[in-house]
Every structure is written in C-alpha cells, then in structure tokens.
Structure 1
C-alpha cells in the first residue's frame, strides 16, 4: 500500500535523511511531502538539494518552501544576503556551494524556484512550513512570506484550552478550514518534545534537526513516526546552529 509521508526540517543533514529513508523502507510508490528548510545548518546543505532533486525522479515529491530555502535561493540567484542569515546557518550554505559548478547552481535555483508555499491534498489536509494568518485560509493570504516565516499559527494552538471544540464560538477560524495541518519551522524541542507533536488539528514535524534533534517523518494515515539518529551525531566536528 503506497504511503503519504511528511518529512520535517532537514537543515543540510543529508546523512541523517538517508538513514531516515532507510528506516522508512521507502518504496517508489510512496509519496513524500517535505515541509521545507532543506539548507542552512550542517555542511551537506548543497548536497541535500542535489539528493532531493534525484529523489524526485524516483518518488512523487512535494517540496514546500521554508524560510531558509527562500534566503538561500535569493543568495544563489542574485547574491542577496544579510548578517542575520549568515549567523543562522547561511554561512554553512555558502561554504557548501564553494565547489559547485555554475550549471549545478542553476539547477538548484530552479529547484528553489519551483517549490510550493503550501499544498492541500484531497482529504482537506494542509502542508505548510510555518503557517498562515488570514482567517479565510491560505488562499486569501496577502503576503506569501507568512507561509514560511510566521509562527502565530503554532503559538495560537499551543495556547488553546484542551477542551475547546470546533463547534465552540471561540475556536480559531483558521483551524476550521482543514482536517489536519502539518507544519515545521518551530522545533518541538522548544516545548520539551522529541517526536512530532499534535495539538488540536496541527502536527508539528520539526524535531530540531538544526540543533540536537533528529529528522522525523510521519505517515499521515497511520500516524506512525520514523526518526533518524540525532543529526549532530553524523557531523561530530561541526556546530550546526547551536
């Protein structure tokens, strides 16, 4: 039976991603939805993108745009950068591309350019890197940067009363548009979790790969979780984004 698997933030941790896919026992029939942040962190940022491009020739893949992907794309395409990006993983991506040819970089630019800001499947499930702010849903969002930067969707759901039901008048309208919402962007390690975490109808699949956590995947139908070893253990001589 083909599976639909959602994979959280990678941050250049290619070795951990390869281990994760081995543990998933990936088949060509499985569909993969990546929630963004493929780069900025570990030294394999550029190699991770190359690997994902190749993987998409074998499996059906949806690549959601993360904030770090947007920043790396702008640097690759027109040299745009800022100090905060350099301090939060950007330098690792610049270093990772030093030995890449112009043609290879152009292929990566196309990869970044073709990403989705969000994806909706036929079962009213939304997949997005960070979230959305418009009460009418992501199709009505005014600024696309919110899809990969804004944390208020996750912050809102964490603050919700456990007993609040969708029928209640105070239930957030943003959540009513979808049966489930899958996000990354904000590591669940910030709330003391090590596995994808569910609150209301949101699943956060970012388990801190940029820091001390693993890369995680979840089967959207069965909710079975797969994880790599902590990514930093594959890169013992690096600091990541610690």
Structure 2
C-alpha cells in the first residue's frame, strides 16, 4: 500500500495516462492530487474524466487548486468568466467543444462541476505529511489557513509547520522540470503544461516518476533534489 502525490496536471492527459500506467496504481494505493487539473493544457475534459473514474474505483484524494476556484467563479458572472478565459480557461472550453459546438461553460457536464465543487477538498493530512495546493502558514492549524495561503501563495522558504509534518504542494511551477525539496517543504509542480514534466512522488520510498506530453518517462528519488535556502531562491 503506497501513498502517491501528483501535482498540477493542467489539462495534460497524455502525461497523466503515461504516469498512471508507469506507477501501476492499485486499489490499495492512496493517490493524492494537488489541484490545477484544468486550464493551459489541451485536454482538461479528459483529465477530469480520468480523475472522476479514479475517484469511483480507487483511493483518490483530490485537492482543489486556484484554477478550479477561478472556473467555479466563472460560472457566476461575465467579468469572472472573462478573467478565467485569459487565465487558461480558453483552452479548457476548447477541450469541451471538439465536436464543433459553441465554446461555452454549458458544455461542461454536471458531473465535472460536482467533482470540482463538492469532491475536491482544500487540504489533506496524514501522520507525517500535509498536502496543499499552494502553501501554508507554518504557525496556523489547517482549519485556520487563509484561502490566499492555500491556493495562491508562491512556494517559499519558511519554518517547518508547527505540527512537524512535511508540506507537499504544487502551484509554483519549476521551469527546470525538477521538484524543490527543502526537507520540510516539497514542491512537485514541474511545468508539464510548458516544456516540463508531470511528477508523482511515492511518500514511503521517496521515489519519483515523471512523464511528459510526448509520453516519455524518467525516474529519480526526492533526496536527489535536496537543497538549502540559498539554492532554493
């Protein structure tokens, strides 16, 4: 039984499928996805279809990201929708309109809205790790974290969380394709929607698998990416 974490898929369904096939996910594993399933990449619809299927058949803990928040807000008003479209939402609408239909939020099935709004959680924790999309205040409990910290604040060097648990996050894309490992803080967003990789970390062993949109795979261990404050900046 393994605990696996994947960050910031951003509509890159080829990388996701390649990664899942490579790690040989089983119903006994727990898979924690760190949000930002949509926008920027070419197939947000396919990514959500896959995640919903995983939720039904495996142990998936899906977190909400800031891009899911903006998509939900886009449903509420025209200004919010305009902002979201420029924020990566245009690519998302394209993925729902491949049959020539008008590109509109009405094409998004209710099952997808339900997944984003009701099944995705704000954070998750285990005995040794805290999983968030973006960041957390090291001095506050999870229930007291601000929306800004959880979904928008960029990765930075801060003291360990007072619980002693290691933070696992995404959100801050690493254009070099390498995760950041500060020991007590790990960022797994390795820019798959650009020219990088989609990263999966196995918490028990520290093994990392990475896949890209070309279907390529590479592996490493998280301790290979250990860095200090000076190298992290």
Match status 1:221 vs 2:204: yes
2:188 corresponds, among 202, 205, 222, to 205
Q: 1:38/1:80 Cα in 2 relative to 1: closer, same or farther (>3 Å)?
A: farther
For the aligned residues, what is the CA RMSD? 2.3
Match status 1:147 vs 2:150: yes
1:200 deviates by 3.2
Runs of 4+ in structure 1 over 4 Å off: 76-80, 99-104
Tell me the SS of whatever aligns to 1:175: coil
1:90 deviates by 1.3
TM-score by length of 1: 0.78
Q: Could you list the per-position Cα deviations for residues 99-147 of structure 1 after superposition, in whole angstroms to 9, with x for gaps in the alignment?
A: 59969621111101121111111x1310000012362232222x32431
Corresponding residue of 2:231? none
Corresponding residue of 1:187? 173
Tell me the SS of whatever aligns to 2:156: helix
Give the number of equivalent residue pairs. 209
C-alpha distance in 1, partners of 2:185/2:63? 16
Corresponding residue of 1:124? 128
TM-score by length of 2: 0.81
Tell me the SS of whatever aligns to 1:91: helix
Whether the 8 Å CA contact 1:7–1:218 is kept in 2: the answer is yes
Tell me the SS of whatever aligns to 1:49: helix
Whether the 8 Å CA contact 2:52–2:115 is kept in 1: the answer is yes
1:212 deviates by 0.8
List runs of 5+ in structure 2 lacking aligned partners: 216-233
